Structure 1
């Protein structure tokens, strides 16, 4: 069971799309003999960078900041994008 909040499911989408793009590009260029581990390593490194920056950008834009009139404290209201209760941008380095 996959649990996500907001656009956290994009972690999977980014990886699958990059896998399809890299595999089809390598086959079109005639590089079928390239070790699949090299292409997978490239995909996961690029996906990690994309997920990190996409998660930071989405979380920065989500929600409203409410200020308590009495104490002056700021409260962030809104959806943070997460997958399995982990914020989206933390998935970038773990990919």
Structure 2
């Protein structure tokens, strides 16, 4: 079960689109028989950068802060964008780390 809030599902969409683009480019260049870890790593790294900037931009614009004049409390209204309760932009570095782990794994195998 996938749990998201706002546009957090875009994390998965961006990853899927990057994997399709990488596979189409490799097959168009005749490199479809390449080790499967390197194209996968490239997809994770590029999508990590995209997800980071997209998440920062979306979460910066989400919500207004209202102040209760009587109590002085601040209330944030609006939607944050998250996947599995983790803000969208934090999935960018996670994707980068997975990509670099795949590169290291392809070097040592």
TM-score (norm 1): 0.89
Correspondence for 2:21: 21
- Aligned CA-pair RMSD: 1.5
Q: Which runs of 4+ in 1 moved over 4 A?
A: 70-74
- Structure 2 CA distance for aligned equivalents of residues 41 and 70 of structure 1: 53
Q: Cα deviations across residues 3-54 of structure 1 (Å, max 9, x unaligned)?
A: 1000000010000000000101110111123222111111101111111111
What is the correspondence of 1:1-95 to structure 2 with a 5 Å cutoff?
Answer: 1-70=1-70, 74-95=74-95
Q: Secondary structure at the match of 1:11?
A: helix
TM-score (norm 2): 0.79
Structure (1/2) with the larger helix percentage: 2
How many residues matched? Answer: 95
Compute the displacement of 1:89 (Å): 0.7
For structure 2, which runs of at least 5 residues remain unmatched after alignment?
A: 96-109
